[in-house]
A and B are shown apart, each in its own frame.
Chain A
Amino acid sequence: MIDVSHLWKSFGKKDAVQDASFKAEPGRIFGLLGPNGAGKTTTIRMINDILTPDRGYVHINNVVAGPQTQKWIGYMPEERGLYQKMKVGEQLLYFAKLKGLSTSEGKKVILHWLERFEASDWIKQEVGELSKGMSQKIQFIATILHDPEIAIFDEPFSGLDPINSELLKTVILELKAQGKTILFSTHRMEQVEQMCDDIALFNEGQVVLTGNLAEIKSSFGENTVLLEYEGDGTFIDALENVRINNRSNRFAEIRLLEGQTAPAILKKAIEHVEVKKFEQVEPSLTEIFISTVNTTKGMGSAA
């Protein structure tokens, strides 16, 4: 379990994280969401005891973050890399030992994971000789080879090829099934909506919203319309009291604001285009983020 409580961190005059609190529970996937520069990575570094909080605390399984808790965590940073001139096997063993495994334990788990990822042949190769996709797999192994109770991934899907993205998803879901605590951060909310059980939305260093994702969504109600159509969609731009979040030339995600209703939009749509699909749903994470940020800024719904 990760318990972050009233965490503060500033660099010079800039408050990177302000009073952040949230809890990530075992057997669940926790998403740290928000735009770049919102304080996600700084928070993750404090959870990993790479940075020390100015105020507040991080508890890992009820222990204050420190050298001891580092052993319980597997961490894949956003900026990831390996020693280019070191052999795959030696490199993984080095990381395993830094996490407290003995040489023999380390060798055993490395063989297991390399086999699992069909990478046993690379053990004697230098990382610099591997393709990008291959070294990404080595990176996963380095993160979880010491069987951590807690797995943290910072922007895990950025830069991954589709095959490795799927592989990583599988691994994360497996870890969840094993009852591990999983936390990952991303700024691409739509990509991870299906995976997260709980979330914390970060904006400008603050947690603007946190809790169970399903509950959060239902609390917003079915205030969004998904419209699929064929024809000239320019009428959508003329709609009043709406926010268009996701738009292509055959699709639009329309958030209904004060004074706008779903039937009214359907009526307009039928007048202008051939409607293929019309559905009233809960808002997307992107929409939740935008409306939450706007509310906390006190700017109302007319942004």
Chain B
Amino acid sequence: MPDVVVVGGGIIGAACAYYLSGAGASVRVLERRWVANGTSRACDGLILVSDKPSPAESILAQTSAHLWAELADTLDQDFEYVRSGAIVLAETAEELAEAGRKAARLQQSGIRAEVLHAAGLHALEPNLAPDLAGGIYYPDEAQVDARLATVALLQAARRQGAVLQEGVEVTGLRQAADGRVVAVTTQAGDVAGDVIVLAAGVWSEQIAATIGLALPVRPRKGHILVTGRVPGLIRHPLLEGSYSASVHTAAEETQVALVAEMTAGGTLLLGSSREFAGFDRSVSEAIIRAIAARAVRFLPALARTSVIRSYAGLRPWTPDHLPLIGPAGLGPAGGPADLPTGLFLATGHEGAGIGLAPVTGQIVADWIMSGQMPALAESVRPGRFLEN
């Protein structure tokens, strides 16, 4: 049974640890601060399939969504999993028509969707602004508490024999003479493994760089506002129509698109923003004003509440918006050669880390334990970037 070192105690590292230890691997998770302290602490926790236009993203998202439903039953710890459904809002008739066309395409791959006109929309969500043209209801979307979910996966992994070490910062990778990655370097010395799984989110790039491996992962900053308690204000997570476009654009300009989600405590999480701002995590007043403005436009009843805190997080972005999951040293059809083996990547999940965590963990576990690439992993092979 292989000794696997997982770098990163966020949602991806947690999922990898869970599925790997479940498959019999001996797993050690190294987390530089404490679990879910990176991007996983700044997420809205939505598990969406409706916002993924490409077939590759869509099939990964659908598979992962089913896995989340299973985990909600099998994991011991509650993480507030709710099959909440979600509604994509349309302000104008044109927007609604376009959204309807998208929904029809998604329905072809088995995703349930219902077009709502104004009356139907307000029957589902009475507090929405009265002038909206309608929306698309996706009943199978879900949400979790991202932090609790990370913790639940890690606790389950530990019960399966995985070891978690917090406060250990991985500073780089170490290669043997033949180029194989055999260990990670930390302030307390090397930690060796048969396989190193790099699940360090936006920090994966600098770790890989220590052996000259250039990962195309860039931090893409987002903001969330937390409101006071407004129980019952909305019944489903809401996304404005431009959300999916804001996710998938590679434009450098800052994107703001409303996402509203109720927490178990009755507060609302309001997002979203996207910008390339390096590793800066300070809260931008201009952006939280913009998110507040979108929120009040769609939910005028929010005028009764306050923002009690806001925070920013860094999503690990890749140029084709698909994550990097797989060995660093495998090309197409088992090819070359000069990329380091012994290193698995599990990173680059821009805005979909929570949603795609289970399928990522499963792909990593299957691939490492069997030595074979799972079919689902074709689109996310790291080789598609690394061999060029």
Are the chains A and B members of one assembly? no
Task: List chain B positions with a Cβ less than 8 A from chain A.
Answer: none
